[in-house]
Structure 1
Amino acid sequence: MDRIIPIKGKVKFPITLDPSVWIFDDRKVELEAYFSGTPVDQTKEEEDIQKISAYWDREIQEGAVFPPTLKTEKTFAKEKLLTGTFIMRLAPFLQNAEVLPDATTFVIATENGDVEIPIEKAYDVILCFSKEGKPIKEDGPIHLYFGDGSNREQPITHVRQFIVR
């Protein structure tokens, strides 16, 4: 249970986060891509349209038979999962929990003490859950970065829960 992180306090729906399943979530983004400025707010629908478009382009150029590069592309995608460092944005989880209108503070409770930030800044928080293809165990289960990258070299570690006040 030490891998589960609750969001509680001034929320309509207290929820729990399980970072161990985020590797299967389509909303995950590579850490370097996030901080390099690559757009990460692309919707699932836009991504699906791009995949379908690429498939049709390939079919027009090479025929209906799958080219040998398809196997290589799948291998590359699998390798990326096994070696990548991935993050999830906290905003969708806060939206699902429905933060109450009178909430002003977001508390990040860690083994080393609490960190408080304004609730508005919490919507920009990103959570790193995978380093080099492996779950974060030693000082995890997540590393917390501010969206502006101000703590990129020293993320908040040992996170145990989030409390909205």
Structure 2
Amino acid sequence: METILPIKGKVNYAITLDASVWIFDDRKIELDEFLKFDDSNKKNENDYIRTQAERWERERTGIKPPVNKSIKRFEKERVLTGSFVIPLQPFLSNAEPASDRVQLESSDGQQQVISLEEAMNGFLRFSKDGKPLREDGPTHFYFGDGSNASEPVKNVSAITVI
């Protein structure tokens, strides 16, 4: 199964995403954490901002924190066994959409139209138990408010701004 996900249509920049590399992206969130839905979108955004600020400060000051091998081992195990989602907003913003509607296209021919705001607040699931979504992937779409947590949009293979 192909893990390529294009963002196309009425955008200033058509973008091609590869869901297989998101496992290395710092913006990924564990699915269980995401599904708590206690204002998680705002919380995750704040965590991301805090992490980036700490990284910037380390780079700016040149301080290299000691690396604990057990933490690295834990992170590796978490990546190899976890299920993750990633926010769609950074990718969609970079494409610079020129419309307020987005169509989620499935590899099985289904299409679902949502608002740009819903898409910007949405998340894409790209892994289950540390492996890519092969049977019903390459991605699943979750609304940011968790309204479709039990039934996400599956088989999402393209995002078109219409």
CA deviations over 1:145-165 (Å, ceiling 9, x no partner): 111111111111111211101
Range with greater deviation from structure 2 (70-79 or 144-153): 70-79
Q: 2-side partners of 1:150 and 1:131: how far apart?
A: 20
Asked if 1:108 is matched to 2:104, the reply is: yes
- Counterparts in 2 of 1:150 and 1:51: CA distance versus 1, 3 Å: farther
Q: Match of 2:100, as an amino acid? A: T
CA contact (8 A) 1:125 1:147 kept: yes
Partner of 2:27: 27
CA deviations over 1:9-49 (Å, ceiling 9, x no partner): 11000111110000111111111112324521122423427
- Percent identical among aligned pairs is 43
Partner of 2:137: 140
CA contact (8 A) 1:112 1:158 kept: no
TM-score, with normalisation over the residues of structure 1?
A: 0.82
Range with greater deviation from structure 2 (117-126 or 29-38): 29-38
Partner of 1:163: 160
Q: 2-side partners of 1:14 and 1:132: how far apart?
A: 31
1:109-124 aligned at under 5 Å gives the runs 109-110=105-106, 111-124=108-121
CA deviations over 1:79-134 (Å, ceiling 9, x no partner): 1111111111000001110111xx12110011141101111111011001011111
Find the structure with the greater CA-based Rg.
1
Q: Match of 1:114, as an amino acid? A: Q
1:71 shift after superposition: 2.2
Q: Match of 1:98, as an amino acid? A: E
Partner of 1:40: 44
- Counterparts in 2 of 1:34 and 1:9: CA distance versus 1, 3 Å: same
TM-score, with normalisation over the residues of structure 2?
A: 0.83
RMSD value, Cα: 2.3
The structure 2 residue matched to 1:89, chosen from 87, 90, 110, is 87
The list of structure 1 runs, each at least 4 consecutive aligned residues, that deviate by more than 4 angstroms after superposition, is 49-52
Q: 1-side partners of 2:84 and 2:101: how far apart?
A: 26
Show structure 1 runs of 5+ residues with no match. 60-65
The count of aligned residue pairs is 150
